[in-house]
Amino acid sequence: MSDDGRFITEVKMVTDTLEMEGVAARRFQIPLGCEDEDSPRGDDSRTIIGAANTVLELGHPSTTSICLGMITEREDLVAGDGVVVMGDELYELPPGRHSFALIVLSKVVEATESSRRALSRKLSVCDRLSGVMARVALGKIWIRISQEALDRDVTLKVIGYQLLSEIRKEQETFGKTEVILIAAEKNHIEKLRPVTEKLARETRERYKTEIKERGECENGLDCDDCPENEICQILKDAVAVSRKKKRQT
Amino acid sequence: MGNQTVIAVCGKGGVGKTVFSGALVRVLAERGLKILAVDADPALGLAYVVGLPTDVKTLGEVRDHLIRKARTDRDPEQIAGMMDYLLLEALTETDRLSFLAMGRSLSRGCFCPVNTLLKEAIRNIAQNYDVVLIDAEAGIEQINREVMSVVDIIVVLVDTSQRSRRSMELIAQVMGDLNMKARMGVILNRWKDLDGNGDSAVSNFEALSWGKIPEDEGLLRNDALGQSVFDLPADSPILESVRRITDTLIKT
């Protein structure tokens, strides 16, 4: 069981606080099925948008970025299929780098590691929009928006639609889903950090238990503290020797 | 046949992966292809099905041997040098196929570098074959971790049960997790017409259907007599079905 109900409640408390502090929230309920027809679609390949073609960067590694995908079996914790845009829309932001958060809350049939991974895989699908690049790693997201995308009226709302419709394609796994996109000041985004860290810690612990149960690693993949570290180092050296020999032949 | 093809046979337990893999080995051998069969099931079911002895040296034992050597001799050069020797020792070669058994390692712990070493050695050996066929014990994550990182074709064997459908979905999810780009399709095994319900179950699968294999009494008889798939009559229903499936899987 890997229900994130507790963390979802915390995230909602943080977003409520942000609203009270003046970060505007716009809510869009999507008439599903037709929501992304107008979205300018790119292909499914992993687009790379170079710095020269980038107008806006959301969550660049030098700024603050948070990316959270959370699942719950509790119906009451997810308001309904919709997109919430908090802070500024893309057309309101000056060119440059901005702190950013993407949060997806999804009601699932069964809160398992498998459904959690399924949601994680979806988090970067917004780069299927033409002129948008997105990379997700370790609870962070980095989105590059080109002038081409802005000219085609790509907005955070459209990005949210895109994400929501991709998630809704897996209706056997996901029920109601809320997508929250926040482009705001660094100190606002940072308020989500404690939730991200607690969630990451819990996920890591679950994974450690899982691999321990499978007998793959007694030490929860903590190589630095593993009593077999020295033996592994010898084996690593053997791999290096073997590769060197292959290169020479 | 130009390029090598790596095929992994997956599916829930008891669905008939091993017998299908054996039949596929026979059909591929009939076509003159050089086959490396990898039995990823510690019970060595595939060895039995293709008529090989089950007391072969396994890769699990090779793994344990290397870890022991690292503990005692502590010499990376020596460990790297003995890798090919040990792997060739574990390779069973017949005029129809070559065979590697994964077995089970007794060394607790991940020892990831050994997996890397073994995978690289398997990849070198595999270069000499037209087809590498892996009979997977569990899911494709085990193959990815322990056998080969790149698989071209994933065959998911299913029956008409809903559990089969679930196992196929899980395999598709893991493929996504591991970023595997293989072609995936389903084969309906021990097919029975359940007043049309079987067909509707198949039409609900979201993967390509690569064919059906009927119940085969001859196969049960063969199994009861302890014979291998190479003892089956050439016109047995399972072999006929697998020949058709092979035409879809591999363009010779």
Paired tokens of B157: 């064997």
Nearest to A217 among B77, B109, B170 (CB): B109
pLDDT > 70: percent of chain B = 91
Closest by CA to A148, choosing from A4, A40, A222, A34, is A40
Q: Of A35-39, A139-143, B58-62, B192-196, where does mean pLDDT reach its minimum? A: A35-39
pLDDT of residue A32 exceeding 60: no
What are the tens digits of pLDDT across the range A51-65? Answer: 889 999 999 989 999
Contact yes or no for B66 and A235 at CB 8 A? yes
- The fraction of chain A above a pLDDT of 70, given in percent, is 91
B150–A contact, CB cutoff 8 A? no
Q: Looking at residues B11-39, what average pLDDT do you find?
A: 93
Nearest to B70 among A117, A221, A231 (CB): A231
Amino acid in position B89: E
- Check pLDDT > 60 for residue A43: no
Look at the block and give the residue holding tokens 């559990």.
B163
* pLDDT value for B194: 59
CB proximity A137 to B under 8 Å: no
Q: How far apart are CA B111 and CA B216, in angstroms?
A: 43
Q: How far is CA B58 from CA A126, B85, B198, B237, in A?
A: 46, 13, 39, 32
Residues above pLDDT 90, as percent of chain B = 34
Q: What's the whole-number mean pLDDT along residues B90-110?
A: 87
Could you say which of B83, B121, B170 has the minimum Cβ distance to residue A114?
B170
Cβ-contact B157, B189 below 8 angstroms: yes
Task: Give the residue extent of every domain in chain A.
Answer: 5-206, 222-248
pLDDT band at B80 (very low <50, low <70, confident <90, very high): confident
Instruction: Please state, in angstroms and rounded to a whole number, the distance separating the CA atoms of residues B220 and B89.
Output: 33
Q: How far apart are CA B214 and CA B130, in angstroms?
A: 28
Query: Rounded to an integer, what distance in angstroms lies between the CA atom of residue B76 and that of residue B174?
Result: 34
In a mutational test of the B interface, the residue from A242, A245, A246 whose CB has the highest number of chain B CBs within 10 Å is: A242
What pLDDT sits at residue B198? 56
Are A235 and B177 a contacting pair at CB < 8 A? no
Structure tokens at B35: 């086959």
DSSP letter string, A2-25: ---HHHHHHHHHHHHHHHHTT--E
Q: Model confidence at A74, in pLDDT bands (50, 70, 90)? A: very high
Most A CBs within 10 A among B69, B105, B173, B178, hence the mutation to make, goes to B173
- Taking only the tens place, the pLDDT of each residue in B176-234 is 777 777 888 889 888 776 566 556 555 566 678 898 898 888 888 888 888 999 999 99
- pLDDT for B153 beyond 50: yes
* CATH 3.30.1650.10 matches A5-206: yes
pLDDT reported for residue A79: 83
Does the beta-carbon distance from B110 to A217 stay under 8 Å?
yes
Residue B224 half-sphere exposure toward CB, CA atoms < 13 A: 6
Whether residue A211 contacts residue A111, with contact meaning beta carbons closer than 8 Å, is answered with no
- pLDDT at residue number A40: 47
B111-122 tens-digit pLDDT: 788 888 888 888
Closest CA to A247 of B6, B119, B120, B89: B120
Name the closest residue on chain A to residue B83, using Cα atoms: A242
Cα B184 to Cα B154: distance, rounded to the nearest angstrom: 5
State whether residue B205 sits within 8 Å of chain A by CB: no
- Per DSSP bridges, beta strands A140-146 and A132-137 are antiparallel
> What are the tens digits of pLDDT across the range A160-175?
998 998 898 888 889 9
**A78-82, B8-12, B89-93, B199-203: lowest mean pLDDT where?**
B199-203
Q: Which of residues 97-116 of A touch B (CB under 8 A)?
A: 114
More confident residue, B145 or A82: A82
Delineate the domains of chain B, giving CATH numbers in brackets.
Answer: 5-249 (3.40.50.300)
Q: What length is written for chain A? A: 249
Contact between A5 and A74 under an 8 Å Cβ cutoff? The reply is: yes
Residue A37 confidence (pLDDT): 45
Is B247 an interface residue toward A (CB < 8 Å)? no
Contacts of A237 in chain B (CB under 8 A): 76
Q: Give me the residues of B, 27-46, that contact A with CB < 8 A.
A: none
Q: Residue B95: which residues within 8 A CB-CB, separation 6 or more?
A: none
Residues 49-108 (B) with a CB less than 8 A from some CB of A: 66-67, 70-71, 74-77, 79-80, 83, 108
Q: Which two three-digit tokens encode residue A128?
A: 């299927």
Q: Quick check: A193 pLDDT over 50?
A: yes
CA neighbours within 13 Å on the CB side: how many for A16?
6
Q: What is the pLDDT of residue A35?
A: 47
The residue among B117 and B58 whose pLDDT is bigger is B58
Pairing of strands A82-87, A25-29: antiparallel
Predicted confidence at residue B202, as pLDDT, reads 58
Q: Do A235 and B114 touch (CB under 8 A)?
A: yes
CA distance B5 to chain A (A): 23
**Partners of residue A29 on adjacent β-strands:** A82
Residues comprising chain B, all counted: 252
Average pLDDT (A133-156) is 91
